[in-house]
Structure 1
Amino acid sequence: MTNTLPAGANALLATLTAEEIVANRAALEAAGIATSNTHYSYVGLIAPDKRRVLTGESLPRLVRSFLIDMTTGVSHDVVVDPASGSVVSSRELDPAVDGAVPVVLREFGYVEEVVHKDERWIAAMAKRGLTDLSQLRVNPLSAGVLADHESGRRIQRCFTFVQRTPDDLGWAHPVDGVTVMVDVVTGEVLDVIDYVDLPVPQEDGNYHLESWRGPDREGLKPIAISQPEGPSFTIDENGVLDWAGWRLQVGFDQREGLVLHDVSIADGDVQRSVLYRASIAEMVVPYGDPSPQRWFQNFFDGGEYLFGGFANSLELGCDCVGDITYLDAVVAGNDGDARVVRQAICIHEEDAGVLWKHSDNWNGSSETRRNRRLVVSFFMTVGNYDYGFYWYFGLDGTIEFEVKATGIVFTSAYPGKGYPFATEVAPGLGAPNHQHLFSARLDVAVDGLTNAVDEIEAAAVPRGPENPHGTGFTQKITRLRTESEAQRVADNLTGRVWFVGNTEVQNRLGEPVGWVLYPEGKPLLLADADSDIHRRATFTTKHLWVTAYEPDELYPAGDFVNLHPGGAGIPQWVAADRPVDGTDIVLWHTFGLTHFPRIEDWPIMPVDTAGFVLKPHGFFGRNPSLDIPGTADHCAPSADHHDHHAGH
């Protein structure tokens, strides 16, 4: 099979190495940009210009770092060539215009030290009968948009929780009604606002302790999953994975987590491209409780916290079951040194039910094929929530992405029966309404880069000469020609989908080859159009955006989301209204969950899922899975097979 990238391109796109991270720090220190006070907020490989990569040009691997001096608050956006040890560019950020670099680990523990010394906060706790400071956990939260008097500062807004013992689940005991504003650079408590005195919920939620949850359920017998001949895939030193005709390069980034490059599928002896690059470029969790103490709760787990850096080390039999291949993830610590997350990426095959089946009444044949899929996944924990990111590749050409949300719901004190903005999940314990909204960045390359998007939806046909009995229906197809036209909302009542086709390549029936994006079509951002979060997370107001490719346009809410006033990213880019018909394009797909918590989500939430599906549509000349072998003892026609002749 032929490769879809020029020779050497996979090495250029491979995950950043520990050696490159160390060389990056050395270059920054040698240039005097990084000092002993510098914290590395983000370190990542710059995605090189696709157009230059595809020409086979020899390009350097460049590393981008977001730095902050935690004694002054001065931040820098720096690019380094680690191979030569040279600084390519360096820019000091203007907080009023650029926003701030993402949260660094120092801030998490530091705010508790600062708040525990503040007399106003101590008095607010004492008023509630809470005098043992060792039991009071201070939870730092991204501040969102700053007020005028906070402008230019690096702020965390903080809540308090009671943790009675080291084993206690502190989320069960929120001290609601008190918000603390902390400047994490100067170490000042700017304000302690005691809005309302609500009782601290008393019931524990220690699901992790057998003494609390009770004995394990009996009667569940083991399930064994084995592949005695090993997995059906191979993976090389650059992360290039080959499986059942699929080829893709698996990478990892501190901000985006899993990054897939060069996704292609075999058609006979030809390897045909589908996606140049795919990732989850942002996720935001906007909360829907407008009360004074929590109106600001909107967390960008990508741009503010860098969810890739919170990847879990996965355990066989717990996170992944079967014949597993693990990959480590290499990220930078806040000291700029390399940090290895062991077994961060899980790769395996799993049975996926029936692939295709038919028992024919006329010719007597009965054929069934089992489906299996390749799974590439990782799990991360940001604060109270845990998320699994799963990419699935099927034998029929289907690509599916699924996020699995679990962990602990963010808690509050429940104000009273009928409160519309939260659910009471335990006596006096609330869980505010919220959303989990994700943006998939799909840099499409369907048989090349001359791509376009058609919106396809079901359409009823009025009675008339062409439909005399009123039974006909058809499809409505609309080409999205510019960025202003390509801002779309899903409509499940019409089955609205988006066809990504190549305008210069046709299939054997003379139609454009393509793939279809099937959205789940769940609610978009529910905040008001004039709200701060609407300005900061404008990407969540449409299910689909299509933009012209530019190498610097990577994050839908902009490069620096933390403390940014809004308007960056997609809304800024699409203002140019560039053409997207028959050119190099990027799809941005918004999907996610709108969560009205249940009692059953406490004290730990069973997995809830969201995602999307991509399927080939006219890309192949026929069903591409006809060559999948049957099992050794696949089913034969039943004895009464010929007794059934009904058509369908």
Structure 2
Amino acid sequence: MQSTVLSPADLGITHPLDMLTAQEINAARQILIDSGKIGTGTRIPRLLPVEPDKDLLSRFTPGQTDFDRSVRVTLLEPSTGEAAEAVVSVTSGSVTGYRVLPTGEHPFGQPQYLFEEYEQAQAIAKADPRWQAAMARRGIIDTTHTFLSPLAPGFFPREGETGRRMIRSLTFHRNFEGDNAWAHPVEGLICHTDLTAGIVTRVEDDYEHSEPVPIPMENRLYDPESVGPARTSLKPLEITQPEGPSFIVDGTHVTWENWKLRIGFNAQDGLVLNQVSFRDGEEDRMVLHRASVPEMVVPYGDTSNTRFWISYFDAGEYLLGKNANSLKLGCDCLGVIEYFDAFVAGDHGEAVKIPNAVCMHEEDYGVLWKHSEFGETPQVRRSRRLVISYFATIGNYDYGFFWYFYLDGSIQMEAKATGIVYTGGCFPGHPNRHAPEIAPGVIAPVHQHIFCARLDVAVDGDANTVQEQNIVGIPMGPENPYGNAFTWERTTMSKELDAVRDANPESGRSWFVTNPNRLNYVGEPTAYQLLPMPGPRLMAQEGSSAWNRAQFATHHMWVTKNEDSERFPAGDYPNQHAGDGIGEWVKQNRDIENTDIVLWHSFGPTHIPRTEDWPVMPVDYSGFWFKPHGFLDQNPAMDLPDWSSRPTAEPDVAHQPQDAGECCH
């Protein structure tokens, strides 16, 4: 049956890079039903937009309506475990691609988890007599409020599991509805569940024949009623923009000072930034074609049976974007805010709205440049940044992804990790070397959060080259007679395997994306510089399951020739997969010089939990900078206004510092 042909306008679309709309998602579902690809029991683990190709974008003109809008849909039959992937052209009303996913064949892999499977896994486990007996062994008979945390099982081939849709559940008790379950871990109890068969294949209890670790019973709630009276010492801090914000929004297109970009969003990447350009005189010069953080892995360093297998892929297994928060003014964002709603597909393929999924606002950022010449009035200009962000909650952790755009042409990406650390139990005062005790009887294992940013760079166009720069000391001698000299060296990366690199703070290592076809004011290729803020690479050892599956995290930097199918650094379906992604792609060793390339940058904190992380963890920050270096011919912020001469409200004299000047810092 042929479905209705639709124009982009019928779908609420005005540009090929617009975010998915509810009309599109629902239309795609109907097309799949009409074509017989979706039955009454079919579920949709993932639905993503098919990215428009660059040729289309280069030819697109405002008002054009003859472009295709397609989505890539993962299909799952829960009763059999069979899975497939379909490409649906919503505008033509047809299924243009279809393939069965070989989940029962090496290297395996499973579709992302459904929201409904979390409840399903818990119900199956709680009904199992072996789990009930294990709880009774610990003195817990009433398990009404007990919570089982549903976790991706990693890849550890076991008889009866390989090629099956599995989930592992750890148990956390609740004394009452609304209790903080993470305060009451049930140590050593694991349920291995076959979601397709609807059975627990194995209940593993480390303490079946010995004294169980006691369940910590101290309540650690963190709501205002439980914490107690809030401090009164902080005075209100108001952020006002009486003339409104400086940005202009047209649909998903944003203009702010010299920056132009389009905001995108999907169920896996979450926030996506498209067609990022910086205005130089009368020219809008491209910097990035597309930027996102499409994957992250959270591997644990504990050897216990309860946790040795844990290495979540929070995007590839659980879908970061689908788990995005609806942001609130005064909580997640301050100031004059522009919100963007997003739509993702629910488990049945229906459109689900995430109100206020993306937040955008401006922030003061202190001094941008300043100079005081003797006898003259100091010249100071204040910095400001445009902030575009979203938050996702995956189980016990909350992740914020913040992109900052600065007046000097710099871009910063900052990931914020907060929430509640994943807990286990111990005999009080007896933690193990892999899991410090953060409260009496409560341990939190060592782990990492390694994010991977995908930067489809376009510095002055798509033909780019990457160079590595290191700061080099010069031995004393004829080239350094006084011992003070040092210089820098840059090495061009010509092949993909040349560009598998790691940060080195000792040499100030950074990477330059250059355009060899365009020269700057002093005759050098225009460039942007990637400045890492490095942390440890993946600590799992080579040959381990975590290493094979998260190869992107084994190095800080990768460069690949741009290929549309290479979207996710751990592969399309890392759930229960033996290993895929960027580590396999670079074996092609393609040319990456003066061509269309993608940078993949891995970064993030290695977390040894502390008592101060309990019961809710203060934010851990990580990220990187992408700064113009020879891209512009001078400081682009020379023409900023001198705010010190702007009339202001009468100051509160009682709270002014002595000898306060007329210009602040």
User: 1:148 maps to what in 2?
Assistant: 158
C-alpha separation in 1, matches of 2:56 and 2:224: 55
Q: CA deviation at 1:52?
A: 4.6
Contact kept in structure 2, 1:48 and 1:551, CA below 8 Å: no
How is 1:343-492 mapped onto 2 (pairs within 5 angstroms)?
343-361=356-374, 364-415=376-427, 416-417=429-430, 419-492=432-505
User: 1:201 maps to what in 2?
Assistant: 216
Q: For residues 284-307 of structure 1, give each alpha carbon's deviation from its aligned partner in whole angstroms, at most 9, with x where no partner exists.
A: 111111111211111100000001
1:159 and 2:170 aligned: yes
Contact kept in structure 2, 1:61 and 1:82, CA below 8 Å: yes
State the one-letter code of the partner of 1:20.
E
1:518 and 2:531 aligned: yes
User: 2:71 maps to what in 1?
Assistant: 63
Contact kept in structure 2, 1:50 and 1:551, CA below 8 Å: no
Q: CA deviation at 1:44?
A: 1.2
| Paired residue secondary structure (2:507) | coil
2:89 to 78, 81, 84: 81
Residue 195 to residue 86, structure 1, CA distance change in 2 (3 Å): same
1:336 to 327, 342, 349: 349
| Paired residue secondary structure (2:15) | helix
C-alpha separation in 1, matches of 2:260 and 2:124: 51
1:592 and 2:596 aligned: no
| Paired residue secondary structure (1:432) | coil
User: 2:185 maps to what in 1?
Assistant: 174
Contact kept in structure 1, 2:156 and 2:545, CA below 8 Å: no
| Paired residue secondary structure (2:371) | strand
User: 1:138 maps to what in 2?
Assistant: 148
1:111 to 116, 121, 138: 121
C-alpha separation in 2, matches of 1:630 and 1:166: 56
TM-score, normalised on structure 1? 0.94
TM-score, normalised on structure 2? 0.92
User: 1:214 maps to what in 2?
Assistant: 228
User: 1:534 maps to what in 2?
Assistant: 547
Q: Which moved more, 1:30-39 or 1:615-624?
A: 30-39
| Paired residue secondary structure (1:27) | helix
Contact kept in structure 2, 1:414 and 1:422, CA below 8 Å: no
C-alpha separation in 1, matches of 2:56 and 2:255: 25
State the one-letter code of the partner of 2:31.
A
Contact kept in structure 2, 1:180 and 1:193, CA below 8 Å: yes
State the one-letter code of the partner of 1:140.
P
User: 1:229 maps to what in 2?
Assistant: 243
Q: CA deviation at 1:209?
A: 4.6
State the one-letter code of the partner of 1:154.
R
State the one-letter code of the partner of 1:54.
S
C-alpha separation in 1, matches of 2:244 and 2:145: 50
How is 1:593-612 mapped onto 2 (pairs within 5 angstroms)?
593-612=605-624
Percent identical pairs in the alignment equals 46
User: 2:109 maps to what in 1?
Assistant: 99
C-alpha separation in 2, matches of 1:384 and 1:605: 10
C-alpha separation in 1, matches of 2:59 and 2:535: 40
User: 1:49 maps to what in 2?
Assistant: 53
Residue 421 to residue 557, structure 1, CA distance change in 2 (3 Å): same
C-alpha separation in 2, matches of 1:41 and 1:112: 19
C-alpha separation in 2, matches of 1:190 and 1:392: 48
1:31 and 2:35 aligned: yes
C-alpha separation in 1, matches of 2:359 and 2:488: 40
| Paired residue secondary structure (1:422) | coil
State the one-letter code of the partner of 1:198.
V
Q: CA deviation at 1:235?
A: 1.1
1:253 to 266, 272, 296: 266
Q: For residues 477-516 of structure 1, give each alpha carbon's deviation from its aligned partner in whole angstroms, at most 9, with x where no partner exists.
A: 1111110100000000111000110011100110110000
Q: CA deviation at 1:133?
A: 1.9
Q: CA deviation at 1:418?
A: 5.4
Contact kept in structure 2, 1:143 and 1:157, CA below 8 Å: yes
1:190 to 193, 198, 201: 201
Contact kept in structure 2, 1:180 and 1:192, CA below 8 Å: yes
C-alpha separation in 1, matches of 2:300 and 2:58: 42
| Paired residue secondary structure (1:524) | coil
C-alpha separation in 2, matches of 1:418 and 1:412: 10
Q: For residues 403-445 of structure 1, give each alpha carbon's deviation from its aligned partner in whole angstroms, at most 9, with x where no partner exists.
A: 1111110000135535211121110000111100000000000
1:629 and 2:641 aligned: yes
State the one-letter code of the partner of 1:599.
T
Residue 521 to residue 10, structure 1, CA distance change in 2 (3 Å): farther
State the one-letter code of the partner of 2:505.
N
User: 2:626 maps to what in 1?
Assistant: 614
C-alpha separation in 2, matches of 1:330 and 1:67: 18
C-alpha separation in 1, matches of 2:145 and 2:632: 62
Q: Aligned residue pairs: how many?
A: 627
Q: CA deviation at 1:137?
A: 1.2
| Paired residue secondary structure (2:505) | coil
Q: Which moved more, 1:585-594 or 1:466-475?
A: 466-475
Contact kept in structure 1, 2:362 and 2:384, CA below 8 Å: yes
Q: CA RMSD in A?
A: 1.8
C-alpha separation in 2, matches of 1:44 and 1:454: 33
> Where does the alignment leave 5 or more consecutive residues of structure 2 unmatched?
1-12, 648-657
Q: CA deviation at 1:92?
A: 1.1
User: 1:19 maps to what in 2?
Assistant: 23
| Paired residue secondary structure (1:280) | strand
Q: CA deviation at 1:55?
A: 4.8
State the one-letter code of the partner of 2:587.
A
How is 1:293-332 mapped onto 2 (pairs within 5 angstroms)?
293-332=306-345
1:244 to 251, 257, 261: 257
